[in-house]
Amino acid sequence: MTPSLRATLGVLTAVALTLPGCATNPVSGRPEVVFMSREKEIELGKKAAEQVAERMTLMTDGELLDYVRSVGERVAARAPRQDVEYSFDIVDMIEPNAFALPGGPVYVSRGLLALFNTEDELANVLAHEVGHVAGRHHVRGDARNKVLGVPTLLGTILAGMTLGQGGAYLAQVAGGGLVAAHSRGQESEADEVGQEVAAEAGWDPLGMSHFLNTLDRYGALEFGESPRTGFFATHPAARERVAVTRENARSLTPAPAETLDRPAFLDKLRGLAVGQDPKAGIFVDDNVFLHPDLGLRIRFPREWSTLNAPSFVMAFEDDGAAQIRLELQGPAQDPREAAREFLLKERRERREAEAKGERPPEALEIERQGRRQFHRRRAFWIEGTIAQGQGTVALYWIPIEDNMYRLTCVVATQLYRRGYGRDCQATARSLRRIRKQEREAIRRVEVEIARAEPGETLEQFNARTGNTWSREETALANGLQADSTLEAGQRLKVALAREYVPAPPPPPPAPEAEPESAAESSPDREEASAGAEGEPETPTAD
């Protein structure tokens, strides 16, 4: 054995020892090297699903959710891989998107549901995502997957999702770094597997081709070309795949099965929210956020990007130098007491991390604090620095109706001193109860089904039905051309604006019990009474 050969074999042996082993791919039937065991894959998917539920609202509408799950379960029963547990959920997301996690969780957005015109299309898209899971596309094909963790995985999935007002998920929202989306080969494989599975379950495999064509038209209408955001970021080149999937469908024959026709399918979509859903709060002009159910209104800095997540709403500069975040802290109480509880929790978390040998959360070095008065609303304010003074944090506790809210500003210190501090204070000062006229002006836009009159154009149809979609949007949503002439009784999806009636707010969560004494948990500096609204305060001595 020569030295070079001996060295080569040594390297190969070392590499082999780091791998779980070889496996047979359930889709291709070929042996492959995998960097993750089935158990680890399922564990990773479960953790990622928990983070999706925390960062993205999941719809709980009974009938529509049950229907989507029934289609998904029927598809999953024909999947070439049966050693995982498939699940199906609807993400309350405006943009059209669908994605899957390792080990079986599959998600489709309500924005995507609004574009479906047949059950065949829905079944093929769900089957496509099942194809990604069955083909182990999340954990094969690249050595970097060996170190793929939940934050990286979730960051990959959410990286292409924009949430309405021009805001992409920040790294801290998405959970971490980014890696490449599925390869073209994996997309093609998922298309092929999805069509085969859909046909075996009784649906027309042409549904995939039809829907890819709809997505391509959506991209052209919204962006002028097929974009690389939303569904398009993780499912690229829709236009190129239409012809391929159409050709695949010719070799497949749907199995005999009971499926819904188009009218029955469209009825399933009645009441689906289009655009922002007031139930989760909405952004209106000049970055004003209104939440009719919670009864609040706040204005974020103009021209900042915004994000409305399940547990918070925020605005941020795209370069990441500044962000302002509002979240519900608990039931209304004295603002200074709320600040005290927050500081106690932060200290406890740092002690627990240190006891476990983990890196503790960043400590806030408090510089100033005191009571504030914002339009006769009591508030408490703390200002300090983090990261050896490189970042400035301003915290405001402000009660609105029965709830206590915490507004957190995190800004590069140099920018904070140059005027961003005033932006933070102005945002805090803008937080107030929603006014009656503001609440009454809110509308919820919903999918409804309307029948056409003989010979109507789409413009005439829209004017008669009160459809808020444009002619082009109506054509896209219904698989028609913009210059189509309608037939008598033809059923079309429309988007109708209706008065929104807020639901009674749920009871706020009870505050956590704190074991420390009041003396230990007092803020580091005694409060100072504020002067005129918005004036800075001088910290008092310890």
Q: Residue 370 pLDDT more than 50? A: yes
Residues 467 and 414 grouped into a single domain: no
Same domain, 232 and 105: yes
Most confidently modeled range among 9-13, 172-176, 394-398, 506-510:
394-398
- The reply to whether 433 and 447 lie within a common domain is no
What is the DSSP secondary structure assignment for residue 103, as one 8-state letter?
Answer: T
Q: Which residue has the higher pLDDT, 376 or 26?
A: 376
Residues 305, 306, 307: CA angle, nearest 5 degrees: 140
CA distance 531 to 399: 20
Note whether 119 and 150 are same-domain residues.
yes
231 and 286 within one domain: no
423-451: string of b/e by CB count within 10 Å (b at 16+)? bbbebbbbbbebeeeebeebebbbbbebe
CATH of the domain at 324: 3.40.1000.10
Q: Which domain holds residue 482?
A: 443-499
pLDDT of residue 191: 87
Q: Does pLDDT of 368 surpass 50?
A: yes
- In this prediction, residues 447-469 reach a mean pLDDT of 97
How far is it, in rounded angstroms, from Cα 8 to Cα 11?
5
pLDDT of residue 28: 53
* Domain end among 250, 268, 286: 268
| CA 277 – CA 282 distance, rounded (Å) | 7
Average pLDDT of 251-258? Answer: 94
User: Which band of pLDDT confidence, cut at 50, 70 and 90, is reported for residue 539?
Assistant: very low
Q: Within a domain: residue 179? A: yes
Mean pLDDT of the chain: 80
Per-residue confidence (pLDDT) for residue 199, from 0 to 100: 96
- Specify the pLDDT at position 43: 85
pLDDT band at 530 (very low <50, low <70, confident <90, very high): very low
**Closest to 131 (Cα-Cα) out of 181, 78, 94, 168:** 78
Same domain, 43 and 164: yes
- Residue 36's pLDDT band (cuts 50, 70, 90): low
> Does any domain span residue 418?
yes
User: Is residue 9 situated within a structural domain?
Assistant: no
- Same domain? For 431 and 448 the reply is no
Per the structure, the count of domains in the chain is 3
Judge if 92 and 30 occupy the same domain.
Answer: yes
Residue 307 belongs to a domain? yes
Give the per-residue pLDDT at 97: 86
Same domain, 253 and 328: no
State mean pLDDT over 433-453.
96
Task: Give the pLDDT confidence of 80-130 residue by residue, as tens digits.
Answer: 999 999 999 999 888 888 888 888 999 999 999 999 999 999 999 999 999
Above 80 in pLDDT, residue 26? no
Please identify, among 268, 295, 326, the residue that sits at the C-terminal boundary of a domain.
268
The answer, yes or no, to whether residue 269 has pLDDT greater than 60, is: yes
pTM of the shown model = 0.78
User: What is the arrangement of strands in the sheet containing 296-299, beginning at the earlier edge strand?
Assistant: 282-284, 288-291, 296-299, 432-433
**Residue 493 forms part of a structural domain:** yes
Among 268, 291, 321, where does a domain finish? 268
pLDDT value, residue 173? 31
Q: Once rounded to an integer, what is the mean pLDDT over residues 254-273?
A: 96
Q: pLDDT band for 9, please (50, 70, 90 cuts).
A: very low
Nearest Cα to Cα of residue 54 among 330, 276, 310, 306: 310
Q: Would residue 534 count as lying in a domain?
A: no
Torsion 47-35-85-98 (CA) sign: positive
State the pairing for strand pair 105-109/87-91: parallel
Comparing C-alpha atoms, which of 214, 210, 238, 262 is closest to residue 475? 214
pLDDT-based confidence at residue 427 (cuts at 50, 70, 90): very high
Amino acid identity at 494? V
3-state secondary structure of 515: coil
Token pair 């100033």 is at which residue?
368
pLDDT band at 54 (very low <50, low <70, confident <90, very high): confident
358 and 451 share a domain? no
Q: Which of 46-50, 181-185, 229-233, 476-480 has the highest mean pLDDT?
A: 476-480
Confidence of residue 25 (pLDDT cuts 50, 70, 90): low
- One domain for residues 431 and 493: no
Q: Is 346 among the domain residues?
A: yes
User: Of 108, 98, 124, nearest to 206 (Cα)?
Assistant: 124
In a domain, 14, yes or no: no
Whether residue 264 is found in the same domain as residue 376? no
Q: At what angle do helices 150-158 and 38-55 cross, to 10 degrees?
A: 60
Whole-number percent of the chain with pLDDT over 90: 53
Q: What is the mean pLDDT of residues 204-228?
A: 82
